[in-house]
Chain A
Amino acid sequence: MQVVVFTRSTPDTAAKVEVGANGAVSWGDAALVVNPWDEYALEEAILQAKAGGGKATVIALGGELHNDALKHSLAMGLDEAIRIEDPALDPTDSLAYATAAAAAINKIGGVNLVICGKESVDVGTDQHIYQTARKLGWTMLSYVSKILAVDYAAGTIKVERLLEQGKQVVTSKLPAVISVMKDINEPRYPSFIGIRKASKAVIPVWSLGDLGLTLPAAHTKVAAYRNLPVRDTQVEMIEGTPEEQAAKLVDRLLQEKVL
């Protein structure tokens, strides 16, 4: 059996991200990290590949900066890493992402399970995950908080999903794409040996040609990035005894008409 997991590099979660005068997005000298949601996906891929006696491959779509996330993944214990880059591929266009991701999964062959983190914080969306499943024509199980059973021989999977209204248990068929929640596991830290091994790894790069793809023109584009409007940061400190503070606060909130 084979597991594929997708990841990407994103600025450190504590980084201050800004748009410069030239319109470019920057995060100063903050480090790149694995997209925070992907840590759980990577851990789950390692666990599932081990349990199923198979291999786990990690894929990133985009430029060289994503080698950071791939090397972190290898250091955690993923078996192989692949990066997909092509001048004609805009990974922020979700249809292009999904088409290339599906083609890569088909090229690897024999994949039973694809695992993704719930969303990518840089592009701020999860749409490419569901679209990858549709392009493959596979089952899509989102918001998975627990894999309860997988039977590769029978081609079945049973998971718990965390929905807005509660927890749902579903069964479905493999192959499947699943997106996992933070609750699913405790991601491991890369070992010292793992880091050394990963630092020497040469990560193969696949082009659209390698995938046998030509992509149609995108329907969407990012016209510009902007900094957030400056928040009215004029904080009013409310003092006094707890009872006085409470009474004054309620006065203000009634004036603000938010109650």
Chain B
Amino acid sequence: MSAVFVWIETFNGAALPTSWEALGAGKLLADKLSVPLTALVFGDGATAVAQTAGQYGAQNALVCEDATLKEFRLEAYAALLTKLVQEHTPRAVLAIATGRGRELLAASAADTNSGMIAEISSMEANDDGSVTAVRPVYAGKILSDAAIDAAGTQFITLRGRAFRPNTPDASASIAVTTVAPALSEDQIATKVESFEAETGTINLTDAAIIVSGGRGMANNPKDAPAGVADAAVWKAQDGYANTLQPLADVLGGAVGASRAAVDAGYIPYAHQVGQTGKTVAPDLYIACGISGAIQHQAGMRTSKVIVAINKDKESPIFKMARYGLVGDLYQIVPALTAELKKRLGK
């Protein structure tokens, strides 16, 4: 059975929404190659997730709900993917380029000596079965046209939010096959000791809207309480929590930050957007008090609409923004939050 495989990433038994984009990209490729589209779902809830994958365009699913796959561990997941690739010799394996997707596909590509192209933003299947894809290189400052030949299995990871999911069809059916794990628990050296969830935040790379704060967050007009070690840090942290977060909440978005803000200790590193942080491509990116250094631009330049709010009208961020608002973010952001609550009826 030659097919296009798409790994559906799950977390706590639910599919990551971006996985449906991978099925969208997978269908383009499977249709071109006239082969079926097969979803791979591992871990808790795999059978239920496979049913939803059927609605998003997969014709078949290979599922494994073994206890060894409850949490993503590269050893266990890669061994199973490699086994399935060796057994089925699919034309391609696709996944979204999340942390897990990147390492899973790379590991299995190495195990099977297959070619891999990572983090592509668009692709074209050629008549000879080769695939040409566009991917950003040099920190997103230029693009490369990468080609992968038709010999063997093609491993491809996709940028989140770059491909459209298929329109779900509630009446679609899917043929689900249960497969055995490749490793038993005593063959897996890595053991998960603990997990501490990021509380109440929306994943930056999945977010359709991002509200980001930079060094300007320290210009909070509130007075820091007496005895605080660093007033600027307190002011900025208060600003993220009480000025930016409410705007993100009303928009259903996530909070990001510039490297300068992270390095100054204003907000944890997990929020950093840019060259040594996360690369994001939301529909709307609102940059507040961010000057827009080239390193920050590298992480957000493919955002659909960029809004810049900054005191300094000479800031480079205005050169890449669609809408520019010169002024104090601590006045504009609350006004914007209030206006949106009113207009969106929240």
Please report A residues at the B interface, Cβ cutoff 8 Å: 10-11, 13-14, 16-19, 25, 36-37, 94-95, 98, 121-131, 133-135, 139-143, 158, 162-173, 181-183, 216, 218-228, 231-239, 242-243, 245-247, 249-250, 252-254, 256, 258-259
Contact = CB atoms under 8 A, between A and B. Distances in A.
B144 A222 contact: yes
B283 A258 contact: yes
Interface stretch (B39-47, B52-60, B164-172, B330-338): B330-338
A226 B145 contact: yes
B256 to A, nearest CB: 14
B326 A258 contact: no
Contacts of A218: 115
Nearest to B252: A259
A258 B304 contact: yes
Given A166-B195, A219-B151, A236-B324, A94 B146 contact: no
B325 interface: yes
A171 B142 CA distance: 39
A220 B115 contact: yes
B276 interface: yes
Interface of B: 11, 73-75, 78, 98-99, 102-103, 105-107, 109-111, 113-119, 132, 135-149, 151-152, 154, 189-198, 203, 205, 209, 251, 269-270, 272, 275-277, 283-284, 293-295, 301, 304-305, 307-308, 313, 318-328, 331-332, 334-336, 338-340, 343-344
B275 A220 contact: no
Contacts of B154: 219
A259 B338 CA distance: 15
B190 A139 contact: yes
Contacts of A18: 141-142
B143 A225 contact: yes
Given A164-B99, A245-B327, A220 B116 contact: yes
B210 to A, nearest CB: 11
Given A121-B138, A225-B144, A242-B331, A249 B294 contact: no
11 contacts: A95-B115, A125-B102, A143-B99, A169-B195, A170-B73, A182-B276, A228-B143, A235-B321, A237-B323, A243-B335, A254-B343
Closest 9 CB pairs of A and B: A219-B115, A131-B110, A127-B106, A246-B335, A134-B110, A17-B141, A242-B331, A130-B106, A166-B197
Contacts of A256: 305, 322
Nearest to B317: A235
Contacts of B148: 219-220
B142 A170 contact: no
Given A121-B139, A227-B142, A242 B119 contact: no
Nearest to A182: B276
Given A16-B141, A253-B305, A259-B284, A169 B193 contact: yes
A250 B336 contact: yes
Given A224-B145, A225-B144, A135 B110 contact: yes
Main secondary structure of the interface of A (DSSP, over half): mixed
A172 B190 contact: yes
Contacts of A254: 343
Contacts of B318: 235, 237
Contacts of A129: 106
A236 B322 contact: yes
Secondary structure of the B contact surface, majority rule: mixed
A122 B138 contact: yes
Contact of B335 (A13, A124, A127, A245): A245
Contact of B102 (A127, A135, A245): A127
A84 B270 CA distance: 34
A224 B340 contact: no
Nearest to A134: B110
Contact of B103 (A130, A171, A258): A130
A247 B339 contact: yes
Contact of B340 (A181, A235, A250, A252): A250
A127 B118 contact: yes
Contacts of B294: 13-14, 16
A239 B78 CA distance: 54
A26 to B, nearest CB: 10
Given A37-B276, A169-B195, A259-B344, 19 more contacts: A17-B142, A18-B141, A124-B119, A126-B106, A134-B106, A165-B197, A166-B197, A166-B198, A220-B115, A222-B144, A222-B147, A223-B147, A225-B137, A226-B142, A231-B320, A242-B331, A242-B332, A249-B339, A259-B340
Contacts of A143: 99
Contact of A124 (B114, B136, B149, B251): B136
For A128, A226, A235, the residue with the greatest tally of chain B CB atoms inside 10 Å of its CB is A235
B142 A19 contact: yes
Contacts of B326: 237, 239
Given A219-B115, A226-B144, A250 B138 contact: no
A254 B140 CA distance: 29
A216 to B, nearest CB: 7
Nearest to B295: A13
B332 A172 contact: no
B85 to A, nearest CB: 13
Nearest to B196: A167
